[in-house]
Structure 1
């Protein structure tokens, strides 16, 4: 116990020293002229406001300040919050060599998930990207879509099992079911593994860990800045001892989760590798992306191959990245459609027309699967998905660190603390820069005066057809060159790989699986609205107060139920669901 007291005392002394240093140098930094809100806390600066239920705070900053805002991080460190389109183009594409993922981000991810895409930098990351980009090609997605349609059908059956056959509505929390469905999509479609997530009687330690790891990590968020120091200065033995001694149970939980993820991902890799080696690399089309990945790796020259640890790390990365954010996005879409019954009916009608056109010999249109190109080409479905991902990105911010002194060019001038306008902001080496996905996606100078409104029509032509706004898939040289949606200022565009929005980022570290996520979301959403009608919960308490769903923005989107019906903390999306009736469609 005395050693623990010594460690805590030294840590506290180090925090005080860093705070004193930051206070003594704060006025002499190049960021002193950048406008922004006052520091609100000596330890967390403004970070607690940005990340802890921070939607209103962030939106207020966007109203008060322009595309580059100075905020304060841990111990008062000056940071930048950026959402100007040209500045993000420079950070992510043109001048990306000057901005890297933070060491805190890389080391934390490496300890938890292994050496995947989110845990590597430089040449190692480029080598992984070069091998993996073709794996997520449109041809491969077209090939695997029919094989994973059964997951959406199974999700529909599980929800229908709890419904009244007489057509009455029943309240169901859709969030856990969506989570089970999305993790099964990644399991079968990417990894080639059936987790049986939608089977109520079965549990899986690996998938349970993946679903809970980020929520556990949030409990020790303030300790993350010290992870790089511990990795550099302490041996594995002393890091284990430190985790044992520190009074943070969540740290020990995370250590156990890391062991579970590495063990489970290793087993998946070895099984898939054995399957590929047994069947040969030229045995015809693969049924999952992991097999394609392993075949490509075995067929590559030795210097271009990924190690077993890298492939294992990417198994964890794909399962993590493809589950949490996709679940959140789907839940938000159902919530919005529940609030907007006309949009729900329009979407349901579009899906029925497309399926009916393919149904053979009078077959039930609900049993007809849409091929990839028709599914992703449904104009209103596409508009609903894009608009929801724009207005409500599952992740609101990403971090970068300036690796050298540089200058951010600006598309729109910002005002300094003295009121002068400037079209560039100097950024000293070591500055932490927060990419505001939320700010970029709601920028009125780019998306129009109604940028804070959910309006899927912005993605449609005047005739109601969809707009071709995507950069060519996997051709990052074209990122940011697509035509702007209606309402966007000409010449003002973001370098995002999906519709010019920043939800999936842009450049060489953009989300590699965004087309898989789009396909998955559209297939699940079209299946659900074809068979069921969704409405906001109608439950009331003794005083007549209706149950209310509230979306917290804690870095990630966290839907909760407010008091008196909920605790405002537990993630849930209860909706009133019933079987579809003829009146739920639009008729001429």
Structure 2
């Protein structure tokens, strides 16, 4: 064994030994909570839950209920939770007692800097206080016309590869959707044109931000060791450890982090100079959200102002968060609509009607309706588009789980009692300090006691009930919530934990579902994401028809898309046409015909 290999082996064994001592000291602290047996001494159940674990997670929900004991790395006992009352306490009422894990914070800080996903406590609250108004509806309305051309350009790129006679062509849409969402972040949030949709102009920064998550997955099992390394080793020795590492992914991540930091600083300085040159002239002020953030930061009090490092960190945070989950959501939406032709036809017809109506209002020729850009309120308010997007994001959240760690002993009340490991009924769960808690977004979004017996079915009609009926329908969600609106969240769930299930709502900011989380660490840009998803989908569906791949190979088999869960839901292709690892989203695409609309 080489010296570097021996050093790495020693370092890993030392950290494992220290962690094992911690595990032994905390053994059986969750003995009363039922759950599956530990399957592996190193990975526990972690590999089953996190790595391609849709069916395994659904099995756990059915067997154990809304609070489940599972085993993480080295067999550490953890809680997997999706009970609505428990999540309200974790995310809202007792949020200070359930923080992001050190692993999450330190890894994000190394990769992306001091942005929202890398900070805790007062620093995080200060950042959100400045950034919340940036994503106001007024600002989103102003940004929308700036980003509509991106969707049009995406359509033009795809149309150029389609025959004009209406024939279908198989295309992998995933690269196009990914580049489109990065461009949305660039122009809409950062005020920068990345030219992502022109393959010849792709930058190193775009390549890094679009692949960093996939590289990080390859180093997933090393993430638990990151906090210890950061706390105990200097930058010099951390770099030496990476240089000597037998894991190439670590060196790739280091180079990506350096590249992203350098590029983000250049973007920030350029945007800052642009804002300063524009001065206070409203006509000279740009409307991208980064410019709004810089102006707001410069005009705030010194003790509330963000540092340059924090502002630079937001650039990488927005670029990452704004494209991975949105790309997955768009691919999933098209995949669902390809399997639901009546829904695709109904959606396309609704969009056409809205565009024709708006064309008349602005004096535009109705025959050019496909190029009409819908105003923000019209786009967001289309009922069936809204229902399709919400139902897909509910049933297929791009991210299935998030972690928290108990910073002190806590007791979680439950909306519905669970059975303990000995068969007793538990209405509360004691959570010792240091316990990792997995917030199951998937479990919350498919909870039959909240969404109804058809919670595992894709049924957009659940969002279309008349207002007079929605208050009495158990599978209807309330309005979207504002950040930090704890009184609304509490009232939504109901003050009485024993109230009827039909009155229970999760503390999510988007339609009561947990896709964008809730509380003080909810997704800040969820309204931007909603606007982007609806605009891209409405533009694509107006012009093109989507089917699943239809070509048959020599054995009579078609290409089959499979959704793998590795932190994100990622579309891959099953063998023999794919390797179940390479992300791709093939569709049969053709130009729309008259028959693709409702009569």
Q: Report if TM-score (shorter chain) is over 0.5.
A: yes
Partner of 1:128: 127
2:365 to 362, 365, 368: 362
Task: After TM superposition, give the deviation of residue 368 of structure 1 in Å.
Answer: 1.4
Partner of 2:27: 26
1:475–1:281 distance in 2 versus 1, CA, 3 Å: farther
Instruction: Measure, in 2, the Cα distance between the counterparts of 1:392 and 1:472.
Output: 20
Task: After TM superposition, give the deviation of residue 273 of structure 1 in Å.
Answer: 0.3
Instruction: Measure, in 1, the Cα distance between the counterparts of 2:127 and 2:280.
Output: 19
Query: Pairwise mapping of residues 39-438 of structure 1 onto structure 2 (< 5 A)?
Result: 39-284=38-283, 286-359=286-359, 360-363=363-366, 364-438=368-442
Instruction: Measure, in 1, the Cα distance between the counterparts of 2:553 and 2:444.
Output: 40
Aligned structure 1 segments of 4 or more residues deviating by more than 6 angstroms: 463-468
Contact 1:447 1:489 in 2 (8 A): no
TM-score calculated relative to the size of structure 2: 0.94
Instruction: Measure, in 2, the Cα distance between the counterparts of 1:193 and 1:212.
Output: 20
Instruction: Measure, in 2, the Cα distance between the counterparts of 1:459 and 1:268.
Output: 41
State how many pairs are aligned: 582
Partner of 1:442: 446
Contact 2:46 2:71 in 1 (8 A): yes
Task: After TM superposition, give the deviation of residue 463 of structure 1 in Å.
Answer: 9.3
Cα deviation, 1:143-179, whole Å, max 9, x if unaligned, reads 1101110000000000001101111000011111000
Task: After TM superposition, give the deviation of residue 569 of structure 1 in Å.
Answer: 1.1
Cα deviation, 1:528-559, whole Å, max 9, x if unaligned, reads 00000000100111010111111111121111
Question: 2:502 aligns to what SS in structure 1?
Answer: coil
Task: After TM superposition, give the deviation of residue 39 of structure 1 in Å.
Answer: 0.4
Partner of 1:578: 590
Q: Mean Cα displacement is larger for which, 552-561 or 362-371?
A: 362-371
Contact 1:448 1:489 in 2 (8 A): no
Task: After TM superposition, give the deviation of residue 32 of structure 1 in Å.
Answer: 0.5
Task: After TM superposition, give the deviation of residue 367 of structure 1 in Å.
Answer: 1.8
Contact 2:481 2:508 in 1 (8 A): no
Instruction: Measure, in 2, the Cα distance between the counterparts of 1:573 and 1:380.
Output: 24
Partner of 2:547: 535
Contact 1:471 1:499 in 2 (8 A): yes
Partner of 1:556: 568
1:560–1:468 distance in 2 versus 1, CA, 3 Å: closer
Contact 1:471 1:481 in 2 (8 A): no
Partner of 1:471: 480
Question: 2:429 aligns to what SS in structure 1?
Answer: strand
Contact 1:559 1:571 in 2 (8 A): yes
Partner of 1:502: 514
1:343–1:482 distance in 2 versus 1, CA, 3 Å: farther
Q: Mean Cα displacement is larger for which, 198-207 or 306-315?
A: 198-207
Question: 1:563 aligns to what SS in structure 2?
Answer: coil
Q: Mean Cα displacement is larger for which, 561-570 or 42-51?
A: 561-570
Task: After TM superposition, give the deviation of residue 491 of structure 1 in Å.
Answer: 2.1
Cα deviation, 1:8-57, whole Å, max 9, x if unaligned, reads 13422542564366357523x2x111000000110000000001110000
Instruction: Measure, in 2, the Cα distance between the counterparts of 1:128 and 1:101.
Output: 16
Cα deviation, 1:175-214, whole Å, max 9, x if unaligned, reads 1100010000000000000000001222210011001001
Cα deviation, 1:220-255, whole Å, max 9, x if unaligned, reads 111111111111111111111011111111000000
Question: 1:470 aligns to what SS in structure 2?
Answer: coil
Q: Does structure 1 residue 518 correspond to structure 2 residue 527?
A: no
1:10–1:326 distance in 2 versus 1, CA, 3 Å: closer
Question: 1:343 aligns to what SS in structure 2?
Answer: helix
Cα deviation, 1:95-114, whole Å, max 9, x if unaligned, reads 01100000111000000000
Q: Does structure 1 residue 545 correspond to structure 2 residue 557?
A: yes
Q: Mean Cα displacement is larger for which, 253-262 or 3-12?
A: 3-12
1:261–1:294 distance in 2 versus 1, CA, 3 Å: same
Q: Which runs of 5+ in 1 are unaligned?
A: none
Instruction: Measure, in 2, the Cα distance between the counterparts of 1:472 and 1:37.
Output: 35
1:14–1:512 distance in 2 versus 1, CA, 3 Å: closer
Cα deviation, 1:273-324, whole Å, max 9, x if unaligned, reads 0011111145345320000000000111111110000000000000000000
Partner of 2:473: none
Task: After TM superposition, give the deviation of residue 474 of structure 1 in Å.
Answer: 3.8
1:287–1:99 distance in 2 versus 1, CA, 3 Å: same
Contact 2:5 2:246 in 1 (8 A): no
Question: 2:200 aligns to what SS in structure 1?
Answer: coil
Question: 1:26 aligns to what SS in structure 2?
Answer: coil
Instruction: Measure, in 1, the Cα distance between the counterparts of 2:115 and 2:245.
Output: 28
Instruction: Measure, in 1, the Cα distance between the counterparts of 2:39 and 2:281.
Output: 61
Task: After TM superposition, give the deviation of residue 85 of structure 1 in Å.
Answer: 0.2
Question: 1:325 aligns to what SS in structure 2?
Answer: helix
Contact 1:183 1:319 in 2 (8 A): yes
Instruction: Measure, in 2, the Cα distance between the counterparts of 1:346 and 1:291.
Output: 39
Cα deviation, 1:513-534, whole Å, max 9, x if unaligned, reads 0000000000000000000000
Instruction: Measure, in 1, the Cα distance between the counterparts of 2:381 and 2:26.
Output: 55
Instruction: Measure, in 1, the Cα distance between the counterparts of 2:192 and 2:134.
Output: 17
Task: After TM superposition, give the deviation of residue 476 of structure 1 in Å.
Answer: 2.3
Instruction: Measure, in 2, the Cα distance between the counterparts of 1:13 and 1:144.
Output: 52
Q: Which runs of 5+ in 2 are unaligned?
A: 471-475, 495-499
Instruction: Measure, in 2, the Cα distance between the counterparts of 1:522 and 1:287.
Output: 20
Instruction: Measure, in 1, the Cα distance between the counterparts of 2:67 and 2:338.
Output: 36
Question: 1:112 aligns to what SS in structure 2?
Answer: helix
